[in-house]
């Protein structure tokens, strides 16, 4: 499930790309498909990094990797990279988990070169608020979401640290009812037939990408997109 629209970004050969909180490597893998780039995926969870390595090795065996990639275990609040080290920084579905969001934001902007792009995505306010209302266990999961962002507030927070928003979009509207349903029956339940059937539908959609569901998601995203994706540029020194 790719949240970032790479077509909006002017990614060139030689770019260094940082995917912070890479999880299973979905955006690291997508970026590594671009010719002659170097991608670094970082996460604090070793299990996620192992899954990301497996994904990237598989893509490489299929001949789909055209750049270079590395993985590293790091804390977003103390990134082990120099200032202005990267030409593009991606931080997708991460900030809602971080207690010290201000330090995390300062770090992701510090390692970005002036004049280059930052992409940040977080869960959208209303769909996430409904999830919190439906399930106490969802909002109290250890390591889970500890805050809900509004678009304007998140934009102001990021722009106060030296970046300027130039674009945004909503994403993954078809996933929103799935999470509502999952919260309604219990996030940890594995035996719910409606949830399992919906999950199979989402997996099929991601693999087959049929025109009908792609069109439906595009039309529904402005109304019930699960995530908001912000595109920002770091101000020149």
Q: Give tens-digit pLDDT for 106-164.
A: 999 999 999 999 999 999 999 999 999 999 999 998 889 999 999 999 999 999 999 99
CATH topology of domain 6-234: Rossmann fold (3.40.50)
Cα 206 vs. chain centroid, distance in angstroms?
16
Q: Distance between CA atoms of 154 and 161, rounded to whole angstroms?
A: 11
Q: Which of 42, 117, 33 is nearest to 68 (CA)?
A: 33
Q: Which of 73, 136, 140, 83 is nearest to 107 (CA)?
A: 83
pLDDT tier at 210 (50, 70, 90 boundaries)?
Answer: very high
pLDDT, position 223: 96
pLDDT, position 62: 95
Q: Is the pLDDT of residue 94 over 80?
A: yes
Instruction: Tell me the pLDDT of the chain averaged across its residues.
Output: 96
**In 38-192, which residue ranges form alpha helices assigned H by DSSP?**
46-61, 101-110, 125-134, 136-139, 151-159, 175-185
pLDDT, position 236: 85
Q: CA 93, 157, 9 angle in degrees (round to 5)?
A: 55
Share of the chain above pLDDT 70, in %: 100
pLDDT digits (tens, 9 = 90+) for 113-127: 999 999 999 999 999
Contact between 181 and 194 (Cβ < 8 Å): yes
Q: Is the pLDDT of residue 1 over 90?
A: no
DSSP 8-state code for residue 236 = P
Token pair recorded at residue 78: 């103390």
Q: Distance between CA atoms of 161 and 206, rounded to whole angstroms?
A: 35
Question: Per-residue pLDDT averaged across 57-69, rounded?
Answer: 96
Helix (H, G, I), strand (E, B) or coil at 177: helix
pLDDT, position 237: 67
Would you tell me how many other CB atoms lie within 10 Å of the CB of residue 96?
17
Helix (H, G, I), strand (E, B) or coil at 170: strand
């Amino acid at each position: 499930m790719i949240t970032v629209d790479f077509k909006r970004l002017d990614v060139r050969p030689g770019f260094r790309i940082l995917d912070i909180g890479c999880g299973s490597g979905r955006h690291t893998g997508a970026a590594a498909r671009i010719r002659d780039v170097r991608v670094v995926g970082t996460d604090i969870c070793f299990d996620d990094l192992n899954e990301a390595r497996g994904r990237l090795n598989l893509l490489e065996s299929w001949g789909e990797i055209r750049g270079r990639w590395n993985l590293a275990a790091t804390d977003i609040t103390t990134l082990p990279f120099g200032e202005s080290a990267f030409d593009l920084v991606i931080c997708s579905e991460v900030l809602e988990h971080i207690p010290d969001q201000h330090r995390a934001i300062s770090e992701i902007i510090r390692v970005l070169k002036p004049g280059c792009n930052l992409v940040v995505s977080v869960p959208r306010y209303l769909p996430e608020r409904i999830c919190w209302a439906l399930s106490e266990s969802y909002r109290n999961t250890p390591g889970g979401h500890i805050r809900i962002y509004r678009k304007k507030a998140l934009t102001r927070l990021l722009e106060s640290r030296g970046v300027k928003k130039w674009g945004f979009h909503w994403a993954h509207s078809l996933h929103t009812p799935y999470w509502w349903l999952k919260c309604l029956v219990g996030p940890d339940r594995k035996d719910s037939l409606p949830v399992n059937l919906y999950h199979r539908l989402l997996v099929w959609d991601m693999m087959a990408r049929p025109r009908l569901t792609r069109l439906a998601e595009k039309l529904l995203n402005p109304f019930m997109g699960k995530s908001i994706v912000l595109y920002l540029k770091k101000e020149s020194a």
